[in-house]
A and B are shown apart, each in its own frame.
Chain A
Amino acid sequence: MSIPVLKFDAVIVGAGGAGLRSAIQLSEAGLKTAVLSKVFPTRSHTVAAQGGVAASLGNSEEDHWTWHMYDTVKGSDWLGDQDAIEFMCKKANEVVVELEHYGMPFDRTDDGKIYQRPFGGHMSNFGEKPVRRSCAAADRTGHAMLHAMYQRNVKANTQFFVEWMALDLIRDEEGHVLGVTAMEMETGQIVIFHARATIFATGGAGRIFYSSTNAFINTGDGLGMAARAGIPLEDMEFWQFHPTGVAGAGVLITEGVRGEGGILRNSSKERFMERYAPNAKDLASRDVVSRAMATEIKEGRGCGVNKDYVLLDITHLDPATIMKRLPGIHEIGLQFAGVDCLKEPLPVVPTCHYQMGGIPTHYSGRVVMPKDGDMSSIVPGFYAGGECACASVHGANRLGTNSLLDLLVFGKSAGDSAVEDLKAGRAHRELPKDVADKTLARISALDNRKGGANVHETRLAMQRTMQDHAGVFRFGDMLKQGVEKILEVEKAARNLEIKDKSQAWNTARTEALEMENLIEVAKATMISAEARKESRGAHVRDDAPDSAEFPNGRNDKEWLKHTLFSPVDNSITYKPVNMQPLTVEPVALKTRSY
C-alpha cells in the first residue's frame, strides 16, 4: 500500500502554547514547518489557563529570577532539575516581553508596564513574603497568548494541518526520529510526515482519571506515541489534584466556597474535617482537605451508589450571599451536578489537574533517554516542550503560573535547538521500509476486529481504576491492586472494537486511537506510583507518613531520583536529580513547608 509522504524541515505535533511557540522559532528561521493539531489552534486546552505567567519582571515591587528559582525548586519538593529550573526562571522575562511584542494584551499598571499580581507559592527574597510575579490578561491569559502566537505563525508562514491526528512516531534502527504518521480526520487518509526535526507539544493526559479538570482533548497522544516507540516516560507518578471538582464532571469548584463557610460532609452527613483538622476544619490546606476526602471515600463513607464522592454543603448560607460572593457556583451546580446548591449539597471529589511528568527532555528541549550507560542520551531529531515533556522543572509539584512559563520557555528552546541542529546539517534520513506498518496494522485491527472491547467502557474502567487506586492520596495495598487492574484494562485497550467503519470523520475510530494513548500513560502512572515508597510533593502515600526521620514522608536518602518507566517491558529505572544549577549555588535540601 502506497502512503503519501509530505516532506518538511520540521513537524510539530500540537498547536497549544508550546507547539505555537516552537513553530515561531522554526518558521522565522526560514524552515519549512508543519504543525498538526486535532483541533483549530485556538481551541487548544492552553485556552483554559487563567492564572497568568510567572516572570520576575519586578514591575510592581522588587523581584529576582533567583527568588523565582528558589520557589520553583521548593515547590518541586527538590525533585526538579536545578539546571532546567535556572534556565526557565532566567528566561522568563525574555519570553514574556517577546509575547508582549507579538501583541499579547497584558494587563497594565498606570504607568504602562505589565501589571503583576501575587500567586500562591511565589515569594520574594527566598521564601520571605509573597511577591507580585504573575503577568496576566484579565482571566483569559492562555486564550490571549494562543491568539497572539497563532497570528505570529500565520505571518511567518507556518503550515497548519488542522483536524489531523498524529498516530505514531517514526524511528529508524539507529533510534533517530524521522517524523510521524498521521491521519486526516476529514478523509481518514494516512500520511507520512517526513521531517528533519520532530517536536512534540501534545499537552497532558489528565483524562486518565475519572475526575479531571482537563478538557476531553487531553489524551496524552504524544506520550502514547513516544511509549510505543520505546521511549521511557519520566516521573509519571506525579499529578497535581484540586480538592473540589464536581463529582462525575470534573468542573472546578473554587476554594472560595469553603472560604465563605462551605462544609464538607460524608454519607452520614458528618462534618468530617473536624476529625482531621480540629482547628482549621474545612479551611485546612488543600493537601489536608484532599487527603481527608480520599480517606472518607476509601473507608466507605463516600456518597452515592458507588460511594465515591463527598458533599460540599452551603445550604446553611444566605442565598443572597452565595449569589453575590460566589457567582457561577449556582450555575455550575445546576449544569454539572443537577443540584440546586441553595437547597442541596454539591457532590465533590479530588480532581486531577496537571501532569508533572512526561517525555524526558534536556532543558534545551531535546528528548533524552538511557543508552549505553548514559542515562540522558539525546534521541536525535526528537524534541518536546510543555505539559507532555518533563524537563524537569515541576518535579513533584508545580507552582501556579509556571505552566504557561514552561510552555513558552521550553517551546522556544525546543524550536531553537531544532533550528541549531538543522543548520548544523542534520538531513532527512531514509525512511525505514516498514515505516507505516505499525500504524496501518493498528488501524486495520480497529476496522476489522469483531467481539473486541467497547471503547467507552474501557475508558471508564481505566478512569475508575486510576481514580480509586492512584488518586490524590495513595495507599500501598490499593496501588498494588491498581497495577494488576490496570494491566487487565490494558488487555482490553489493545483489543478495541468500533462499529463505525467509515473513512470520513470517523470519530469512533479517533476516540479508540486516543484510548490507545491514554492506556500507556495510565499504566506508566500506576506502576511508577506503586514503586515510589515515599511521599513527595503531589505523590502522597498513607504508608509514608510525616515523621521525625522523614518529614512529610519524604526520604531523600533513597528517593531523591527521577523515575523512568520503560513501556517496552513495564520496568522502572531511576536517574539522579540534577542538583547543580547552571551559574548559581544549589538550593539546598530542606523540609518543604509553607
Chain B
Amino acid sequence: MERADYERLRWRCIRRALLELDITLTRFLDGGDFEKLTDDQQEAFVELADMEDYDLWDLLTGKAEIDDPRLAQVVSLIRKS
C-alpha cells in the first residue's frame, strides 16, 4: 500500500466516533498486524474501516455476523489482535 493511502487509512482508524474502535483499530495498525495481512486482506480491512462505527463494533464483538468470508476472516484477525 502506498504511504499516502496507508496514512489516510490510519487517520480513518485512529479518529473514530467510538473510543472502542479507536483503541482496537489503532492497536491493529500500530501493533504491526495490518502489515502482516495479504493484499486481499488489506483491501478487506479498508472495506471494514469504511463501515459505520456501530456496525463495525457489532461485528468485532460478535453481536452481528457477516456473510462475506473475506471480511469475516479479517474481523476474526482483528478480534484476536
A and B from one complex: yes
Stretch at the interface among A37-45, A51-59, A296-304, A572-580: A37-45
Tell me the dominant secondary structure on chain A's binding face: loop
Q: Do A48 and B18 form a contact, CB below 8 Å, given A140-B54, A251-B23, A505-B8?
A: yes
Q: Do A43 and B15 form a contact, CB below 8 Å, given A215-B22, A249-B23, A251-B23?
A: yes
Tell me the dominant secondary structure on chain B's binding face: helix
Which A residues are in CB contact (< 8 Å) with B53? 43, 47, 143
A507 close to chain B: CB less than 8 A: yes
* A505 to B61 CA separation, bound complex (whole angstroms): 30
* A407 to B74 CA separation, bound complex (whole angstroms): 37
Of chain A, the residue at the smallest CB distance from B10 is A507
A216 close to chain B: CB less than 8 A: yes
- Docked-complex contact B61 and A217, CB < 8 angstroms: no
Residues of B8-63 contacting chain A, CB below 8 A: 8, 10-12, 14-20, 22-24, 26, 52-54, 61-62
In the complex, how many angstroms separate the beta carbon of A351 from the nearest chain B beta carbon?
A: 10
A213 close to chain B: CB less than 8 A: yes
B4 close to chain A: CB less than 8 A: yes
Cβ-neighbour of A215 out of B8, B17, B61 (below 8 A): B17
Stretch at the interface among A4-12, A328-336, A457-465, A479-487: A328-336
Residues of A201-216 contacting chain B, CB below 8 A: 212-216
In the complex, how many angstroms separate the beta carbon of B49 from the nearest chain A beta carbon?
A: 11
* A506 to B15 CA separation, bound complex (whole angstroms): 14
Residues of A333-349 contacting chain B, CB below 8 A: 335-336
- Docked-complex contact A505 and B15, CB < 8 angstroms: no
A386 close to chain B: CB less than 8 A: no
* A216 to B18 CA separation, bound complex (whole angstroms): 9
Which A residues are in CB contact (< 8 Å) with B52? 42, 143
Which A residues are in CB contact (< 8 Å) with B19? 48, 212-216, 249-251
Which A residues are in CB contact (< 8 Å) with B20? 251, 335-336
Of chain A, the residue at the smallest CB distance from B20 is A251
Q: Do A215 and B18 form a contact, CB below 8 Å, given A143-B54, A328-B61?
A: yes
* A377 to B32 CA separation, bound complex (whole angstroms): 52
- The interface on chain A, measured as residues whose beta carbon lies within 8 A of the other chain's beta carbons, has a size of 33
* A215 to B20 CA separation, bound complex (whole angstroms): 8
- Docked-complex contact B16 and A507, CB < 8 angstroms: no
Which B residues are in CB contact (< 8 Å) with A39? 12, 15-17
Which B residues are in CB contact (< 8 Å) with A38? 15
Of chain B, the residue at the smallest CB distance from A328 is B61
Which B residues are in CB contact (< 8 Å) with A510? 11
Q: How large is the interface on B (under 10, 10 to 19, 20 to 34, 35 or more residues)?
A: 20 to 34
* A213 to B22 CA separation, bound complex (whole angstroms): 11
Q: Interface centre among A47, A163, A215, by most B CB within 10 Å?
A: A215
- Docked-complex contact B16 and A43, CB < 8 angstroms: yes
Which A residues are in CB contact (< 8 Å) with B17? 39, 42-48, 143, 215, 217
* A507 to B11 CA separation, bound complex (whole angstroms): 7
* A49 to B14 CA separation, bound complex (whole angstroms): 19
- Docked-complex contact A504 and B7, CB < 8 angstroms: yes
* A215 to B11 CA separation, bound complex (whole angstroms): 13
In the complex, how many angstroms separate the beta carbon of A249 from the nearest chain B beta carbon?
A: 6
Q: Which residues of A contact B (CB under 8 A)?
A: 38-39, 42-48, 140, 143, 163, 185-186, 212-217, 249-251, 328, 331, 335-336, 502, 504-507, 510
Since A43-B16, A216-B22 are in contact, a sample of 20 more A-B pairs with Cβ atoms closer than 8 Å, ordered by chain A residue number, is: A38-B15, A39-B15, A39-B16, A42-B17, A43-B15, A47-B54, A140-B54, A143-B17, A163-B11, A212-B19, A215-B18, A217-B15, A249-B23, A328-B61, A331-B62, A335-B20, A335-B24, A336-B20, A504-B4, A505-B11
Q: Which residues of B contact A (CB under 8 A)?
A: 3-4, 7-8, 10-12, 14-20, 22-24, 26, 52-54, 61-62
Q: List 30 A-B contacts (CB under 8 A).
A: A39-B12, A39-B16, A43-B15, A43-B17, A43-B53, A47-B17, A47-B18, A47-B53, A48-B17, A48-B18, A143-B52, A143-B53, A143-B54, A186-B8, A215-B15, A215-B18, A215-B19, A216-B19, A217-B22, A250-B19, A251-B19, A331-B62, A335-B23, A335-B61, A336-B20, A504-B4, A504-B7, A505-B7, A505-B8, A507-B7
